[in-house]
């Protein structure tokens, strides 16, 4: 497990880390994160192939279902067909709803993954800023000390060349300044390395931008398919449902493919997050050739690991203190004897200028000590781990769930939608057994409305029983009246003695009697003929 202070692997990381790692020969391999090794790559590819197996199973199920649907259609009664149509429709709606829920999960997972990767890039840029500041501070301090040695101390040696005791003090100061410059130059451990955190952050950010955009497009495509599928089912648009079925099949392939990629990524990331220190240390040392003690100091940052710069910093601090003491003694003893030593040359720096430069060096030194402390770089390291192993891992798991739900939903949709659009076609054929000359046929009524603009509806407003004529059974309807409702009710009272119990006339409501099939019409005519052959028993008289 990780020994970094402030980071601990999550429970889902530990669970995924325990997933068996098997190569193509079905041999168990080590679960330590080693992406450069072929056996470990085989283990991740084997995990990704599980999604391919699920894809093959779903395709087989779809083929079997469609073959049975096309070739083995059973003869069912109307009630069974209506019940099956209802089941098919609701199964499509349920699949779309599940897919929409998966799309919401996918948006959240994509955002979490992006936040985690952004945290990694931000930490890398902070690390690069710290390392660059260390290099610049060391180089500026060494350059400042070198300028002091070459200019001011050399001039002081020339001035005090005749006084041995002062010359010894100046030469000791010179040697200590050179020692401090050498010690500080060795502290710049990252200078000249091939690994640039800023370049690495830019590469990671570039890849993440395209990954985020690809998932956004996939999520939007799934959402559009769901919406248009619901529209096609609601409006019974056959061509739209067919197009969505074809597109759903291709998105089904994308869903299983993304699921395999996410599964391999999640397991590989869990292997890294279970023990990141070892891998980071080995790879960094291999690329940069930095002392392992320095890497261990910044990665662990605890009391058990000693500061590798402590000895150099302590030596440099003591040397700077000695330099200040010697310059102060030289100023106290030599300046009264050599009054021109303070201003021995208008173009050269004087002794007080040397002390000012050394004060600047001490300020840079304290700033350097703060930058070299492990807490700053270790915080960036822990933040990168948390972003990658907490937010990044959580986002990948949510994306994995999205891919699984969308794959199941589109599998169900591809199986159900063909039966739905077949019922759309059969619905148009329900009127084939009707008589085209039937005035109550809905299709004939639509044609009549299209031609005349308003139908002329036959009705049985008057009825007279007659034994002499069969034609008296049906009398032509009175002309359609535009009279108000009260007048219509008064007219209807002439036939029955009581006003009708409806406020809107039948003709105004444009509601003809229900249509009937030819078999029903034949039965009605035969029954009417039998009735006309019997003697008339009662006479129906119209009221005066």
290-321: pLDDT as tens digits: 889 999 999 988 888 888 999 898 888 888 88
Q: Distance of alpha carbon 540 from its chain centroid, rounded?
A: 80
Q: Quick one: pLDDT at residue 440?
A: 54
Class of residue 202 by CB neighbours under 10 A (exposed 0-12, middle 13-18, buried 19+): middle
405-424: pLDDT as tens digits: 999 999 988 888 887 766 66
The sign of the torsion formed by the CA atoms of 286, 290, 292, 295 equals: negative
C-beta atoms surrounding 129 within 10 Å: 14
CA angle centred on 40, ends 36 and 45, rounded to 5°: 110
Class of residue 363 by CB neighbours under 10 A (exposed 0-12, middle 13-18, buried 19+): exposed
- Mean pLDDT for 271-292 is 91
- Mean pLDDT for 330-349 is 56
CB 357 within 8 A of CB 116: no
First-to-final CA distance of the chain: 107
Q: Quick one: pLDDT at residue 526?
A: 66
Q: pLDDT band for position 234 (50/70/90)?
A: confident
Closest C-alpha to 447, from 463, 459, 431: 431
pLDDT at 342 over 90: no
Show the tokens assigned to 463. Answer: 């009825």
Q: Quick one: pLDDT at residue 462?
A: 42
CB 521 within 8 A of CB 438: yes
- Mean pLDDT for 79-105 is 79
157-173: pLDDT as tens digits: 777 777 777 788 888 88
pLDDT at 476 over 70: no
Min mean pLDDT across 108-112, 136-140, 328-332, 508-512 is at 508-512
* Mean per-residue pLDDT over the chain, rounded: 78
Q: Quick one: pLDDT at residue 544?
A: 39
The sign of the torsion formed by the CA atoms of 42, 48, 54, 58 equals: negative
Q: Quick one: pLDDT at residue 488?
A: 46
Min mean pLDDT across 359-368, 391-400, 504-513 is at 504-513
Min mean pLDDT across 5-14, 260-269, 296-305, 495-504 is at 495-504
SS3 category, 477: coil
Rg (CA), the chain: 47
Q: Which residues of 175-190 are buried (b: 16+ CB within 10 A; e: fewer)?
A: ebbbbbbebbbebbbb
44-67: pLDDT as tens digits: 999 999 999 999 999 999 898 888
Contacts of residue 252, Cβ cutoff 8 Å, sequence gap at least 6 = 55, 58, 407, 410, 411, 414
Q: Quick one: pLDDT at residue 518?
A: 58
- Backbone φ and ψ for 520, nearest 5 degrees, come out as -65, -40
Which one is predicted more confidently, 493 or 404?
404
Q: Which residue has tokens 């350059």?
A: 143
Cα 402 to Cα 74: distance, rounded to the nearest angstrom: 37
Show the tokens assigned to 144. Answer: 């400042």
CB 22 within 8 A of CB 29: yes
Show the tokens assigned to 23. Answer: 């190569």
Which one is predicted more confidently, 57 or 525?
57
- Mean pLDDT for 84-110 is 87
Q: Quick one: pLDDT at residue 423?
A: 65
Q: Looking at mean pLDDT, say which of 38-42, 105-109, 539-543 comes out highest.
A: 105-109
- Mean pLDDT for 452-459 is 47
- Backbone φ and ψ for 237, nearest 5 degrees, come out as -95, 105
Min mean pLDDT across 113-117, 373-377, 512-516 is at 512-516
Q: What is the DSSP letter of 24?
A: T
Cα 416 to Cα 363: distance, rounded to the nearest angstrom: 76
The sign of the torsion formed by the CA atoms of 203, 204, 207, 213 equals: negative
Class of residue 275 by CB neighbours under 10 A (exposed 0-12, middle 13-18, buried 19+): middle
pLDDT at 376 over 50: yes
Q: pLDDT band for position 1 (50/70/90)?
A: very low
- Mean pLDDT for 244-273 is 94
Min mean pLDDT across 10-19, 238-247, 476-485 is at 476-485
Q: Quick one: pLDDT at residue 346?
A: 37
Cα 389 to Cα 265: distance, rounded to the nearest angstrom: 12
Q: Quick one: pLDDT at residue 478?
A: 47
CB 177 within 8 A of CB 151: no
Give the CA-trace dihedral at 112, 115, 117, 119, to 10 degrees: -140
């Amino acid at each position: 497990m990780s020994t970094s202070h402030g980071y601990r692997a999550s429970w889902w990381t530990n669970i995924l880390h325990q997933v068996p790692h098997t190569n193509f020969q079905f041999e168990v391999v080590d679960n330590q994160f080693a992406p450069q090794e072929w056996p470990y790559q085989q283990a991740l590819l084997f995990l990704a192939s599980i999604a391919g197996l699920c894809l093959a199973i779903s395709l087989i199920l779809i083929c079997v279902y469609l073959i049975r649907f096309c070739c083995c259609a059973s003869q069912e009664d109307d009630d069974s067909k209506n019940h099956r149509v209802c089941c098919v429709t609701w199964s499509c709606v349920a699949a779309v709803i599940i897919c929409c829920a998966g799309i919401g999960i996918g948006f959240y997972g994509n955002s979490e993954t992006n936040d985690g990767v952004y945290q990694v890039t931000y930490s890398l840029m902070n690390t690069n800023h710290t390392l660059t500041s260390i290099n610049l501070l060391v180089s500026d301090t060494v350059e400042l000390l070198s300028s002091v040695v070459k200019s001011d101390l050399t001039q002081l040696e020339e001035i005090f060349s005749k006084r041995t005791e002062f010359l010894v003090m100046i030469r000791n100061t010179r040697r200590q300044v050179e020692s401090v410059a050498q010690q500080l130059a060795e502290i710049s451990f990252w200078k000249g390395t091939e690994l640039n955190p800023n370049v690495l952050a830019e590469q990671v950010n570039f890849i993440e931008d395209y990954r985020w955009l690809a998932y956004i497009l996939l999520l939007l495509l799934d959402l559009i398919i769901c919406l248009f599928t619901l529209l096609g089912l609601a409006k019974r648009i056959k061509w739209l449902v067919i197009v969505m079925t074809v597109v759903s099949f291709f998105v089904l392939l994308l869903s299983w493919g993304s699921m395999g990629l996410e599964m391999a990524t999640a397991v590989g990331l869990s292997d890294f997050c279970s023990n990141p220190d070892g891998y980071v240390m080995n790879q960094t040392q291999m690329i940069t050739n930095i002392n392992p003690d320095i890497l261990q100091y910044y990665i662990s940052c605890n009391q058990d690991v000693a500061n590798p710069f402590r000895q150099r910093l302590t030596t440099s601090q003591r040397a700077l203190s000695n330099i200040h003491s010697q310059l102060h003694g030289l100023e106290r003893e030599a300046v009264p004897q050599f009054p021109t030593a303070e201003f021995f040359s208008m173009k050269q720096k004087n002794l007080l200028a040397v002390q000012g430069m050394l004060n600047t060096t001490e300020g840079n030194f304290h700033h350097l000590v703060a930058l070299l402390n492990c807490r700053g770089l270790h915080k960036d390291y822990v933040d990168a781990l948390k972003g990658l192993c907490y937010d990044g891992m959580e986002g990948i798991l949510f994306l994995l769930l999205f891919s699984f739900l969308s794959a199941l939903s589109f599998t169900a949709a591809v199986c159900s939608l063909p039966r739905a659009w077949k019922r759309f076609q059969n619905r148009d054929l329900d009127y084939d057994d009707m008589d085209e000359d039937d005035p109550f046929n809905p299709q004939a009524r639509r044609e009549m409305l299209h031609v005349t603009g308003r139908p002329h509806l036959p009705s049985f407003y008057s009825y007279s029983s007659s034994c002499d004529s069969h034609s008296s059974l049906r009398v032509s309807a009175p002309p359609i009246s535009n009279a108000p409702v009260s007048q219509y009710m008064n007219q209807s009272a002439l036939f029955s003695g009581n006003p009708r119990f409806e406020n809107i006339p039948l003709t105004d409501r444009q509601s003809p009697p229900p249509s009937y099939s030819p078999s029903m019409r034949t039965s009605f005519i035969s029954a009417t003929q039998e009735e006309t052959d019997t003697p008339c028993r009662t006479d129906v008289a119209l009221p005066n």
